[in-house]
A = this chain, B = another copy of it.
Amino acid sequence: MDSAGTHAQQYDRYKRLVDKALDGLVKGQSPRSLYEPLRYVLDAGGKRIRPVVLLLSCEAAGGDATNALHAGVAIEILHNFTLVHDDIMDNAASRRGRKTVHTRWDTNVAILVGDELLAMAYRALLKTKSPQIQEIAKIFTEGVVEVCEGQAYDKEFETRSTVSVTEYLLMIEKKTAKMVAVSAEIGGLVGNGDRPAIQALRRYGEHVGRAFQIQDDLLDIVADEKELGKAVGGDLVEGKKTFLLLEALRTAGGRDKKLLTDIVRNKGGKADLIPEYRRIYFETGAIASARRRVGKDIARAKRELHRLPVSRAQAMLGWFADMLLNRTY
């Protein structure tokens, strides 16, 4: 069995640990109007990237991953809190192939379920046994603050006619990367790592998190539709100001530029122009630029890992970064 095979199996083992812990959280509590939709959210599955990074970081820092399970569960519940509230704000009708909470129930239920998820995230986190619990809870909280700020920027950008690539990068650092960085850092703290190890883990998470988001932007236009599980070009049709759109806007000229500014002006592109948009993305070098950034971030993430002692968990974090780089959906 090759090492990638072993790593993938190991990843699955950690993921199942998290799924099982999540599964035991809600059992017929009252009021049902709150706990039924809450259970629906936690049952939806997902890649569980953040908790697995947290567990691996704990191990890579020299700790026992099982001690970090409560914190891992906390970070996953926190992630689901952001999804439920973001889906309201984004008017999203479905997620992971199922109706969103505010669509299946209503907005009030979704607001309250999100609030309760945030409280449950803290409840799980505070079960962690660590002399550093205050520091851990502080880092977790700064993560929540930045996620809110990131989402505020994201909504603000929707209504603005121009957004710079730098502003976009700040936004995804807050909205996406920070939470992966928090996962890695908290894992390191639970694992009782020394200061350089914890710093390396945090930076690893920042790079991986940012790469993940830009890769997401890329896949929306270069992925195979069947693998992606949804129509290619969805971001364009929705008029999302992604890295690609902002980068292409920066360098396109003439008719191409007009096509792109029309997407912004009309708050959405035309589905039948997607092949055309894609051509512009390639010709302006936006695709190449995004790929360069993702590659660079993954390389940086892996470089940070060299500061940690060699271990299976350290190797797996490297494998995980590569997997994000090579993912096709």
Within 8 Å of chain B (Cβ to Cβ): is A156?
Answer: yes
From B30, B115, B149, B153, contact of A148 by CB (8 A): B115
Residues A137 and B145 in contact in the complex (CB < 8 Å), given A33-B156, A34-B152, A111-B111:
no
Cβ–Cβ contact A126 & B134, under 8 A: yes
How big is chain A's contact interface, by range? Answer: 35 or more
Instruction: Provide the residues of chain B in CB contact with A149, threshold 8 Å.
Output: 30-31, 34, 116
Which of A117-125, A225-233, A285-293 is near enough to bind chain B?
A: A117-125
Within 8 Å of chain B (Cβ to Cβ): is A142?
Answer: yes
A4 → chain B closest CB, angstroms = 38
Cβ–Cβ contact B152 & A123, under 8 A: no
From DSSP, what is the main secondary structure of chain A's interface residues? Answer: helix
Instruction: Provide the residues of chain B in CB contact with A114, threshold 8 Å.
Output: 111, 115
Within 8 Å of chain B (Cβ to Cβ): is A133?
Answer: yes
Within 8 Å of chain B (Cβ to Cβ): is A328?
Answer: no
Within 8 Å of chain B (Cβ to Cβ): is A176?
Answer: no
State which residues 130-175 of A face B: CB under 8 Å. Answer: 133-134, 137-138, 141-142, 144-145, 148-149, 151-153, 155-156
Instruction: Provide the residues of chain B in CB contact with A155, threshold 8 Å.
Output: 33, 108, 112
Cβ–Cβ contact B148 & A123, under 8 A: no
Closest residue of chain B to A30 (Cβ to Cβ) is B149
Within 8 Å of chain B (Cβ to Cβ): is A92?
Answer: no
Within 8 Å of chain B (Cβ to Cβ): is A89?
Answer: yes
Binding site for B on A (CB under 8 A): 30-31, 33-34, 85, 88-89, 107-108, 111-112, 114-116, 118-120, 122-123, 126, 133-134, 137-138, 141-142, 144-145, 148-149, 151-153, 155-156
